[in-house]
Structure 1
Amino acid sequence: MSSQSQVRWIALLRGINVGGHNKMPMAELRNLCAGLGWQNVATYIQSGNILFSAEGSTSALEKQLAGAIASHFGHRVSVIVRPAAAWPLYIELNPFPEASASEPNRVMLGLAQKSLAADAAERLSEFAASGESIAQRTDSLWIHYASGSARSKITPALLDRLAGSPVTTRNWRTVLKINEMIG
């Protein structure tokens, strides 16, 4: 593969290294990605944020990585891939800039594996409590957990159901760090 035709991507894994479940050492995950022929592989923290260069479509890359993880680690995890070039738009479209500045760990960007249901935010808002706010921008969901996410009724299962496919979330600090790593 020539690196000139490769695109820079971000893969987000859902539910790894949480509470002792779906353990994946990042060095091993980077080696696994390199073994797929992906280049310039980098990870950020233990929650499964991978930057890489490769050829392919989002769905093909998602399937390739999910299959490799299942084979190598024995875990079935949701993989959501986006072009790195799209990442700055998420930052620009953040509907909660004040909360992001004051409570960056309580503002979450949610990305779905497939096209987001057009009414996902509206339907999720019905479950919002304790000052929670939800907004939808292009292919992203944004949630401000004003009182934290621990006791929220907006659970991963509910997110998946109302979005129409698996969703993974990243807090504002992680969103900014991924953007910084893109350069």
Structure 2
Amino acid sequence: MSRQVALLRGVNVGGRNQVGMPALRELLEGLGFEDVKTHLQSGNVVYSSGKAPDRAAKEIEQALAKELGVKVPVLVRTKTELAAIAKADPLGKVASDPALYLVTFLSGKPEAKKIKEVDPEKYEPDVFKHVGQEIYVWCPNGVRNTKLTYSFWEKLLGVTATARNWRTVTKLLELADG
């Protein structure tokens, strides 16, 4: 059994894809996940499972659609992966507000060539850094004002993506540590 974190994209946003956290916990427990905890109302779930992360993500996606009528992408990281993501913190020296510092989680490792084609100057004052399967984005003028959104990266890289601010990332790691 390993601790894992499921990141559901687009739940409880703008009145769409409504999922109550008690129902979400019950759904995951019904799939055999243990010690299920949710964080906030935006689709962050920490649990223990012997299933591979990709398999867990697919099962959660399918159960959400079948049981709750909600079709959203789900990305899963292990506690170890999330710890490495937090440890990397490549923009930590410039990111002074955790609410404006995003981690964009990708469903697969992107082609470095496509990321290198993005001209950083075009997006200033926002700054980004790619590490592994994540892209870190510092948005000093606010998350709502950045053009470096999860959908930007998703279209550019041809992967599924979702983002969480630094405060949420560190809280999820804390919950995973139990």
Query: Same fold by TM (over 0.5)?
Result: yes
Secondary structure in 2 aligned to 1:98?
Answer: coil
Is 1:24–2:19 an aligned residue pair? yes
Aligned match for 2:107, one of 96, 108, 113:
113
Change (3 A) 1:77 1:11: same
Alignment of 1:43-62 (within 5 A): 43-62=38-57
Check whether the contact 1:123–1:162 (CA below 8 A) recurs between aligned residues: no
Q: Does 1:96 align with 2:82?
A: no
SS at match of 1:178: helix
- Counterpart of 1:122 in structure 2 is 116
Aligned pair count reads: 177
Q: How does 1:22-171 map to 2 (within 5 A)?
A: 22-100=17-95, 102-125=96-119, 128-171=122-165
Tell me how large the CA RMSD over aligned residues is. Answer: 1.7
Residues 113 and 151 (structure 1 numbering): CA distance in 2 closer, same or farther, change over 3 Å? same
Unaligned runs of 5+ in 2: none
**Structure 1 31/151 Cα, relative in aligned 2: closer, same or farther at 3 Å?**
same
> Which residue of 163, 166, 172 maps to 1:172?
166
Q: Please give the alpha-carbon distance, in whole angstroms, between the structure 1 residues aligned to 2:34 and 2:111.
A: 33
Percent identical residues: 29
**Which sections of structure 1, spanning at least 5 residues, go unmatched?**
1-5
TM-score (norm: length of structure 2): 0.91
| CA displacement at 1:169 relative to structure 2 | 0.7
**Structure 2 Cα separation of the partners of residues 128 and 81 of structure 1:** 31
The change in CA–CA distance for 1:182 and 1:108 in structure 2 (over 3 A counts) is same
Q: CA deviation at 1:157?
A: 2.5
The two structures have a TM-score, normalised by structure 1, of 0.89
Cα shift at 1:92 = 1.3
Query: Secondary structure of 1:180's match?
Result: helix
